[in-house]
């Protein structure tokens, strides 16, 4: 089973591919990011069409059997960190998620090959307290037998690690439920 996961964002969309034979933990095949220049980020039409095209390119290159896209948290929680960000952060994040979903739906032959998973479902129990992203980078490195440095600089590492953990979660969830 080959699964490609996306962690959408306007700043840095992380992606990862895991693969396995369905009998054990998957191996991490690839990680990467989709980023934009400051000039591109200023024009909504520019970065959304670029994000769409880049996601299509990743899917065509990696040829996954399934694609999973991270969604915002399912539970209605107070997000103190998000509340302190710029007012347009939440709508912009929603645009990025929608853009990735649209590209995935366009590229995959049927909708039953696409999973969407809220962040609070797959990340439950991983890296509590402190810097969640940094903790998830360490967790991903440990789970895949890598060093944290594998995921690169701090600004990109969290997005790639989250995509890798999300892909692994879907892979193992499908094994638990005995569905290929």
3-state helix, strand, coil in the chain (%, to 5): 50, 20, 30
Query: What ranges make up the beta strands (E) of the chain?
Result: 2-7, 12-19, 27-35, 66-71, 114-118
Q: Tell me the whole-structure pTM to 2 decimals.
A: 0.89
Q: Specify the long-range contacts of residues 76-83, CB closer than 8 Å, at least 24 apart.
A: 77/120
Q: What is the pLDDT of residue 160?
A: 94
51 closest CA partner among 3, 103, 2, 92: 103
Q: What is the pLDDT of residues 52-87, one digit of tens each?
A: 999 999 999 999 999 999 998 766 555 445 445 555
Q: What is the pLDDT of residue 133?
A: 78
Complete domains list, the chain, with CATH: 2-176 (3.30.420.10)
Q: What is the pLDDT of residues 92-148, one digit of tens each?
A: 888 999 999 999 999 998 888 999 998 888 888 786 555 677 888 999 999 999 998
């Amino acid at each position: 089973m080959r699964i490609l996961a996306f962690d959408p964002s306007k700043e840095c969309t992380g992606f990862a591919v895991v693969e396995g034979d369905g009998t054990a933990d998957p191996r991490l095949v690839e990680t990467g990011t989709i980023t934009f220049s400051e000039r591109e980020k200023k024009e909504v039409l520019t970065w959304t069409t670029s994000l769409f095209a880049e996601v299509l390119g990743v899917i065509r290159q990696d040829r996954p059997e399934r694609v999973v896209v991270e969604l915002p948290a399912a539970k209605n929680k107070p997000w103190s960190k998000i509340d302190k960000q710029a007012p347009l952060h939440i709508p912009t994040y929603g645009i990025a998620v929608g853009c990735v979903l649209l590209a995935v739906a366009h590229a995959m032959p049927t909708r039953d090959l696409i999973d969407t998973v809220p962040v609070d479902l797959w990340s439950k129990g991983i890296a509590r307290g402190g810097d969640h992203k940094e903790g998830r980078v360490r967790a991903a490195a440990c789970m895949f037998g890598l060093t944290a440095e594998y995921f690169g600089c701090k600004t990109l590492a969290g997005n790639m690690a989250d995509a890798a953990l999300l892909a692994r979660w879907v892979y193992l969830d499908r094994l638990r439920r005995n569905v290929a």
